[in-house]
Chain A
Amino acid sequence: SQQGEEDPQALSIQEGENATMNCSYKTSINNLQWYRQNSGRGLVHLILIRSNEREKHSGRLRVTLDTSKKSSSLLITASRAADTASYFCATALLNFGNEKLTFGTGTRLTIIP
């Protein structure tokens, strides 16, 4: 089952613009991670934010986490054609003997050159 819902499902923007993707989840988490997947390939880890953190930056990426609303957002600034991919949030539960890493539905991002 999916833990998270992402919106939008698909997003097309012009190169150079910023792209924002949102993720909502249902249960308590220990951390939330964002991944990128190019068509038909494996996943690339982008950023991990722990439940006691509110914002994190990595290069052109900015992630926020609001545990009270059970939501997170991923912002990609100054988008490039190479950013075209599917983006997934994944929520991590770390209860001993019951660890889970569950993915959201994903956002397909297309950057138009």
Chain B
Amino acid sequence: GAVVSQHPSWVICKSGTSVKIECRSLDFQATTMFWYRQFPKQSLMLMATSNEGSKATYEQGVEKDKFLINHASLTLSTLTVTSAHPEDSSFYICSAWTLNTEAFFGQGTRLTVV
């Protein structure tokens, strides 16, 4: 199957700093990328949907200014957690897909804010 590379796989940062997470589709062009966060023992919560070259669509309750999403090309999307706080600590997962196919997921990024 297709490969989606997410980097970094884990990161620890100080409160107030910003963290950038990259999501790359390595062998296909993704028309759409999704960003999720997952708390322990819970399901994946969709944060936003991004299409290449256009602004991301955020889910209700997700702060646009805090979680900046850039979808610069058909193979790269980034999520920047700005001014991170301990409550932002979570597992973040990206997903890439093309129309009416399965979605391909990155390995996830475990963010810990101290």
Which residues of A line the B interface, CB within 8 A? 1-2, 30-31, 33, 35, 40-43, 45, 48, 50, 88, 90, 92, 94, 97-106, 108
Q: Interface range on chain B: under 10, 10 to 19, 20 to 34, or 35 or more?
A: 20 to 34
Q: Is the CB of A42 within 8 A of B93?
A: yes
B97:A101 contact, CB within 8 angstroms: yes
Q: Residues of A contacting B67 with CB < 8 Å?
A: none
If A102-B46, A105-B43 touch, does A45 touch B32 (CB 8 Å cutoff)?
Answer: no
Number of A-B residue pairs, CB cutoff 8 Å, is 66
Whether A94 lies near B100 (C-beta < 8 A) is: yes
| B interface, CB within 8 angstroms of A | 1, 31-32, 34, 36, 41-46, 49, 51, 54, 57, 59-60, 91, 93, 95, 97, 99-108, 110
CA distance A35 to B1 in the complex (A): 14
Q: Identify whether the interface residues of A are mostly helix, strand, loop, or mixed.
A: strand
6 A-B pairs closest in CB distance: A103-B44, A43-B105, A42-B107, A45-B102, A106-B43, A99-B32
Give complex CA distance A43, B97 in Å.
14
